[in-house]
Amino acid sequence: MDLKSRLLEWMGGGKGDFAELSQEVFRHQFSGNAAYRNYCEALGKTPETITSWREIPAIPTDAFKLLGVALRGFPESEVYGHFLTSGTTTETKGKHEFRDLGLYEASVRGTWQLLGLPEIRRPWFFSQRPADNPHSSLVRMFEILSRRAVFPGGLWLIDSEGKLQLENFHPEQPTALLGTSLALLRACDEMAPIELPEGSWIFETGGSKGLRKSFTPAEVCARLSAHFGVPESCILNEYGMTELFSQFYKWGDAQTHTGPPWTGVRVTDVHTGEAAATGGIGYLEIIDLANLDTVAAIRTQDLAIAVGDREFILIGRDPAAIARGCSRGVEEGLGG
C-alpha cells in the first residue's frame, strides 16, 4: 500500500504510527519537493540526519507567498486547484496548491469523528457558498461538513458580494451556527440578540481582525454566548489555516486546542529557533501529515505553549511576525 493510501486508511478509522509515518512523509517530500529539499539542505537536515519528527525542518507560512517558488511535490500539469490565504486586495496572498482534496476531506471528516465533535443538525453557515469563494479552504471545509449534516443543505448567509443576508435567519429547532468570528460578530451588530433553542452550538474561527474594535478570543466567545444565548461551553473554536490540511479544536470552557493523531505540535524559541523550554512560550510549529503533497512541517506566526504532542495553548499572534516573516535567507534557501 502506498503512503497516501495508508494515510487515508488511518484517517478513515484505521491505525497509524505518527512517529514512523512522519519520517516517511519527510523522506517523500525531501525527495519530490525541490524547493523544500533546498531549504532542508541549507539547514543541514536530510532524511539521514533526522531521527525524530521533532527535528523535521518547518517552513514559515510566508514561504507560501513567494512568487516563483512551488512548494509542492508534483508537476504544475497536475495542479487541480489551490487555496488562498485571506488578506487585503493589495497584500500578497499565500497559495497552497493541490492535485486533489482526498486527504483534506479525509482529515476534516476523520478529525470530527476522532475528537467526538457534535452531530451537525440544521446548520446555518455564516459564510459564502463554495461557488462564490472557491479558493477558501474554510468555505470548502464548511461544504464538507454540510454534507455530513443530519439535515444537509444548510442555509448560507453571506452572498456573492460578501454581505450578510439575515432576513430568513429564524432558527426554531436546535441548530448549529458555523462561521468566521468576523461574520458572527458582524451579525451581532446587525441583528437583535436571540435565544437559540436548547441544544444549539456555535463553530467560530479566525479572530476579529477587520472590525473597528478588536476582541480577544475570550471576548469573542463571551459576546457570541451573550448574543445567541448559547453557553460558552457550547462554542467551538477552530484553529486552522490555508497552509494546513488539518485543524485543531477547543471548546469555549477548555484551555487547549487539540488536533488529530496525524498531527504533531512543537513550540520553538522565537530568538534561537531551538525547542522552547517545557511550558515556555514560542512559535507554534505544526506537523500535518495530511499535507503529503506539499510541506508537512509548518511554522506559524502564532505564539503558543505546547501541551503534549498534539495540543497547545494559543497565546496569540506574534506582534513582530510581519517584521520577521520570511527572511531573504529563507527565500534563498528555498531557491537552492
pLDDT digits (tens, 9 = 90+) for 136-170: 999 999 999 998 887 765 689 999 999 999 998 98
Considering only residues 88 and 159, tell me which one the structure prediction assigns the higher pLDDT. 159
Residue 254 has what pLDDT? 94
Q: Which of 211-220, 224-233, 270-279 has the highest mean pLDDT?
A: 224-233
157 and 264 in a single domain? The answer is no
Q: Residue 330 is part of which domain span?
A: 3-93+259-335
Q: What is the pLDDT averaged over residues 248-256?
A: 95
Residue 242 has what pLDDT? 95
Count of C-beta atoms within a 10 Å radius of residue 67: 6
> Does residue 106 sit within a domain?
no
Of 209, 231, 251, which closes a domain? 251
Is residue 246 scored above 60 in pLDDT? yes
Grid cell, residue 310, equals 498534539
Could you tell me where the DSSP H helices lie in the chain? 3-11, 18-32, 34-42, 102-114, 137-147, 181-190, 217-228, 321-324, 328-335
Is residue 250 scored above 60 in pLDDT? yes
Split at pLDDT 50, 70, 90, the class of 323 is very low
Of 195, 226, 251, which closes a domain? 251
Q: Render 262-305 in DSSP notation, one character per residue.
A: TEEEEEE-TTT-SBPPTT--EEEEEEETT-TTS-SEEEEEEEEE
> Does residue 66 sit within a domain?
yes
CA distance 296 to 243: 9
Q: Which amino acid is at 59?
A: I
237 and 211 in a single domain? The answer is yes
CA distance 80 to 313: 35
293 and 194 in a single domain? The answer is no
Say how many domains are in the chain.
Answer: 2
Of 220, 251, 282, which closes a domain? 251
Q: What is the mean pLDDT of the chain?
A: 90
Residue 223 has what pLDDT? 96
